[in-house]
Amino acid sequence: MKVLLPDGSDLIVPDGATGTDVAQTIGQRLAKAAVAVKINGEVVDMATAVHDGDSVAVITDSSPEGLEVIRHSAAHVLAEAAVKLYPGTKVAIGPAIRDGFYYDFEFPQQVGEDDLHKITDQMTRLLTEHRAFNRRQVSREEALKLFADEPYKSELIRDLPEGSAISIYTQGEFTDLCRGPHVPDTARIGAVALLSVAGAYWRGDSKKPMLTRIYGTAFPTKKELDEYLTRLEMARQRDHRRLGRELGLFSFHDEGPGFPFFHPKGMRVINALLDYWRREHVAAGYDETKTPIMLERTLWEHSGHWDNYKDNMYFTVIDEVDFAVKPMNCPGGTLIYKTDQHSYRDFPMRMAELGLVHRHELSGVLHGLFRVRMFTQDDAHIFCLPTQVEDEIVGVIDLVQRMYRTFGFERVHIELSTRPAKSIGTEEMWHTAESALAAALERAGLEYVLNPGDGAFYGPKIDFHIEDVMGRTWQCATCQLDFAMPEKLDLDYVGEDNQKHRPVMIHRTVLGSVERFLAILIEHYGGALPAWLAPVQAVVVPVADRHVEYAETVSRRLAGTGLRVEVDGRTESVSKKIRDGEVLKVPFLLVVGDREVESQTVTIRTRGSKETASYSLEKASAELDAKAAPPAVGSGA
């Protein structure tokens, strides 16, 4: 019989051939790397039979789909190891997730981080036994009998619709309920590591039992695993929550879960960031606006947020009228637009807002500044003519790229997301909007990936994913094209024909969430922010108490030019003060002693260097001003 390969060619294989046979027919090297096979678009086990005319693609261990299969299989081995080590353990679910896998257990005893090495050793022994993953289809009754002693598996089986196909996988003496697919045998999993332990409610319901969740990861080779663990350790050392606390930037408190508290040093960084943001936006033709945090429910109903976003909103009642705390700035921006009658000559109108928004996030997903319930969105709404859309989107793309280069983000991945299942507007609106975004990207000469069905409920969007120094990507900027909201909120302008028409609305952010972007910067730079962003740009270190007065003179001179400078007047040794300044990532340490007082100079030590240089006060001021100066507008550097 004949099967179709991804390159369009045909492959002749014997009747009854499996995915393994297809891989071996193509070549032994491919067969050795194969962990699963895709038949007619569905990823299945290598042992699955192929049929005449099937489209077949072999999934290797180096592909994203192959890694997912490896990690899902590793989760099963984790469950087997846990059951062997802790008799009486009840198993729940164990899926592959991004960068790894987890499995939830109900242990008969306390199991924590200190036990991970023991479980890992057991897993490693099991992996060396080369045991096959065998799949079997069973009836509902047989499945319930097999898992009679497993309450969580039994619950999952009972919740399946009548007549559902139920499959189980067995490796060695361990059997698990699973749809699969899995690698052919345990040896194909490669190298594994268990990473952490956490609590997790069964099926995410706080009214159900709290289980123990063990997180792990797996890679085809130990070299790849070691490289990943190195990156993981690097990320741990750069964790913005720890650095934010050590650098005195922000804190979180039980009185406001998910609501960050910014300290004076944190506000210095944010203000420096926003000063730069404002200068870039003024140069790009934006006017800044500000809208209220709470608005009446009727506005959110008209905008479509009530029907499409209310689960993520906070509400209150004022004078017996329902109000909502804004999760987005756009409806308020449209009210500013509607205060005047506009002409086609007014366009484009670019209105930017650093709007404080609130979104209800579940407590389990809160994560430092990365996931909060209150954040500042560097929003903008552009109102324009249909003929101006492409130019405006290209302008947004240029602004985004320029600002990202300023922070050292040279690698930016772009996605074009199309109409989701839950949306407003007509098919014609969506087609026009999606085509306009694609045309702008092509005009800008940018490569992008299509992300079907992931647009905003009111329009398609371009998402920009920046890549940090650790290779992680973060979605920050977005540009959303909206034909629907001007219609729903009755926005209009007078055209050349003296008739009323609907404007086009572009929603866009560059940083996304200012707070989240700050967290990304902290981890990207490991807390050593560029001098223009650093909360304290220079610390003057007097050698002894008699030098404090001169240190204060130096500080006042430098602060007079706008430098953020402090004096370390503690009764500590110079070496300790310097070490503390290095721990706090201060860009410039200025030492003053007898020699400096006599010559009216300072000795400057630059962060990351052991060398020092002596400068007159005038030259030191000019030198530090130049090195700590904010980026020039439009420079992208």
> Which tens digit of pLDDT belongs to each residue from 25-41?
999 999 999 999 999 99
The CA radius of gyration of the chain, in Å to the nearest whole number, is: 30
Residue 540: strand, helix, or coil? strand
Choose the weakest-confidence range: 81-85, 203-207, 232-236.
203-207
Q: pLDDT exceeding 90 applies to what percent of the chain? A: 86
> pLDDT tens digit string along 534-565?
999 999 999 999 999 999 999 999 999 999 99
Give the chain's domains with CATH numbers. Answer: 2-60 (3.10.20.30), 65-237 (3.30.980.10), 284-524 (3.30.930.10), 538-627 (3.40.50.800)
User: Mean pLDDT over residues 332-336, rounded?
Assistant: 92
Q: For residue 214, which of 78, 366, 71 has the smallest C-alpha distance?
A: 78
Per-residue pLDDT, 599: 96
> pLDDT tens digit string along 228-237?
999 899 989 9
pLDDT tier at 304, thresholds 50, 70, 90:
confident
Residue 298: pLDDT above 80?
A: yes
Per-residue pLDDT, 636: 62
pLDDT tier at 243, thresholds 50, 70, 90:
very high
> pLDDT tens digit string along 439-487?
999 999 999 999 999 998 888 999 999 999 888 899 999 999 988 889 8
Q: pLDDT exceeding 70 applies to what percent of the chain? A: 100
Q: Enumerate residues 6+ apart whose C-beta is below 8 A from 267.
A: none
pLDDT tier at 365, thresholds 50, 70, 90:
confident
User: Mean pLDDT over residues 594-618, rounded?
Assistant: 94
Tokens 């000469």 belong to which residue?
A: 445
Answer whether 358's CB lies under 8 Å from 326's CB.
yes
pLDDT tier at 635, thresholds 50, 70, 90:
low
pLDDT tier at 204, thresholds 50, 70, 90:
confident
**Environment class of 508 (CB within 10 Å of its CB; exposed 0-12, middle 13-18, buried 19+):** buried
Answer whether 531's CB lies under 8 Å from 628's CB.
yes
User: Mean pLDDT over residues 426-436, rounded?
Assistant: 89
pLDDT tier at 154, thresholds 50, 70, 90:
very high
Look at strands 493-494 and 473-482 and give their pairing. Answer: unpaired
Look at strands 565-567 and 538-542 and give their pairing. Answer: parallel
The alpha carbon dihedral of 571, 575, 577, 580 has a sign of: negative
User: Mean pLDDT over residues 168-184, rounded?
Assistant: 94
Residue 520: pLDDT above 80?
A: yes
User: Mean pLDDT over residues 352-378, rounded?
Assistant: 92
Mean pLDDT score of the chain, rounded to an integer? 94
Q: Which amino acid is at 465?
A: H
Residue 615: pLDDT above 90?
A: yes
Q: How far is Cα 525 from Cα 409, in angstroms, rounded to an integer?
A: 11
Per-residue pLDDT, 426: 86
Per-residue pLDDT, 489: 86
337-to-118, 340, 341, 342, 493 alpha-carbon distances in Å = 64, 7, 8, 8, 10
Query: What are the start-end ranges of the H helices in 238-387?
Result: 240-246, 264-283, 297-303, 305-309, 330-337
List, by residue number, the catalytic residues. 330, 359, 377, 379, 381, 461, 507
Per-residue pLDDT, 303: 83
User: Mean pLDDT over residues 323-339, rounded?
Assistant: 92
Q: For residue 568, which of 598, 595, 588 has the smallest C-alpha distance?
A: 588
Answer whether 504's CB lies under 8 Å from 384's CB.
yes
Residue 388: strand, helix, or coil? helix
- Determine the Cα angle at 611 with ends 609 and 614, to 5°: 125
Per-residue pLDDT, 196: 94
Residue 205: pLDDT above 90?
A: no
Q: Enumerate residues 6+ apart whose C-beta is below 8 A from 301.
A: 307
Per-residue pLDDT, 424: 81
Per-residue pLDDT, 471: 86
pLDDT tier at 264, thresholds 50, 70, 90:
very high
Residue 622: pLDDT above 70?
A: yes
Buried b (16+ CB within 10 A) or exposed e, 316-326: eeeeeeebbbb
Q: How far is Cα 439 from Cα 610, in angstroms, rounded to an integer?
A: 52
User: Mean pLDDT over residues 560-574, rounded?
Assistant: 95
Answer whether 82's CB lies under 8 Å from 214's CB.
yes
Answer whether 213's CB lies under 8 Å from 199's CB.
yes
How large is the angle between the packed helices 264-283 and 389-406, nearest 10 degrees? 140
User: Mean pLDDT over residues 275-303, rounded?
Assistant: 94
Per-residue pLDDT, 162: 83
